Amino acid sequence: MEYQQVGRQSRRRRSTSLVLGVCVVILLIIIGVSVAVALSRRNCADSNDSDLRTVIITKCKTYLAAHEEESSDNNCEEIWMAFAGAFVGRDSCDVPVEAYDPLVRAVSEKPACNRMLFWSKTKDIVHQFTESKKCLVTLEDTLLGFVMNDLTWCSKNNSSETFTTGCPGWIECEKNPVRSFWNRASAAFAESACGDVTAMLNGSIATPFNVNSIFASVEVKKFDPSRMRALNVVLVTRGNDTVTCDNSSLQRLREAIDPKLRYSCREVPRSKILDCISDPEKPCGDCW
């Protein structure tokens, strides 16, 4: 009997020890997983911040190397700091347009008088054209436009982190950091417009001059007749398009600009522009 009782007690102790051991192992696993997840998130955030900074500064230096004479006064580190200062630590839906004022002031670049090209709903063909011909310059061909083009960024309220994924989309909230940047950069580009200015608009849609577009809501309002002489519209059309330069939205465009500015509009087949793009010997003046 005594032997049996001692045996039972021994088995109970072993069972208790086994259960405690299993619990300790499970607890250690939980702690280990939690620490790993936390470190992973931190490393991801740090990587995002590091990657975004690297991309911005690399693109900035690439641009400056290609435009050394026009942009020698710019400092890519200062541009990064001004850029980060606009949105880091802010809620991703509460970055106002004016937050990018210091960034715009941090950049020194002469306007390309008589060569500035604005666009609306013609992004692909416009950039094919400027890449091929180099005779006209869009916002995306300037330092700020080139650096920020095709990038996404945001931060969080009271955070020093930056993110390139999980950021609000263009229409998700009005004051998202990407939308506010392009509104501010577009305003600055339009304010600097000088001489004869070109706008390439889409003749395949019912309203080539859409009041909700950046061109209509921001850029046209910033045109300065003391710097500009004329606005020349190139209406890009396809074979079966019925939209012409008499379109009512284009009449609104004509009324929206200062009466001191000359206005012209020309319907140009998309195929003609593409042919011009593919022919490096054809001068820009023959493209429309």
Question: Catalytic residue positions?
Answer: 113, 194
The torsion angle over the Cα atoms of residues 15, 19, 21 and 26, rounded to 10 degrees, is 160
The CB-side HSE value for 254 (13 A sphere, CA atoms) comes to 12
Q: DSSP secondary structure string, 84-100?
A: HHHHTTS-TT---GGGG
Q: DSSP secondary structure string, 46-79?
A: HHHHHHHHHHHHHHHHHHHHHTTTTSTT--HHHH
CA–CA separation, 261 and 43 (whole Å): 54
CA–CA separation, 30 and 34 (whole Å): 6
Q: How far is CA 16 from CA 13, 139, 177, in A?
A: 5, 73, 58
Determine contact, residues 288/245, Cβ cutoff 8 Å. Answer: no
